[in-house]
Amino acid sequence: MPTLHTFDGHRVFVPTNDHRPAHVHVVKAGNEAIFFLNCPAGPVGLRENHGFKRSQVAAIERELNPIVGRLCADWESIHGEP
């Protein structure tokens, strides 16, 4: 599972055996959220949340949105077209 980005103890990754549509997993301290990338330009959208508070989800979205283009390119390099 390649790590695509890290910030404030969060790990953003894409499992290599994952499915479409393009999305990333974000984990920290036993919590996990999954965000649709809405390629090619976002914005990201929450698909699932397991344990993060709403304010934490909003902070993750603020971190991911400016780099969504790069995350989409990373997804494509791993899985093909998003």
Over residues 51-71, the pLDDT tens digits come to 999 999 999 999 999 999 999
3-class DSSP state of 74 = helix
pLDDT tens across the length of the chain (82 residues): 889 999 999 999 999 988 899 999 999 999 999 999 999 999 999 999 999 999 999 999 999 999 999 999 999 999 987 6
Instruction: Please give the helix or strand (H or E) that residue 35 lies within, else none.
Output: strand 31-36
Give the contacts of 28 (CB within 8 A, at least 6 positions apart).
Answer: 8, 9, 10, 11, 52
Q: What is the pLDDT of residue 40?
A: 94
What are the domain boundaries of the chain?
Answer: 3-79
pTM: 0.94
Cβ atoms of 63 and 72 within 8 Å: the answer is no
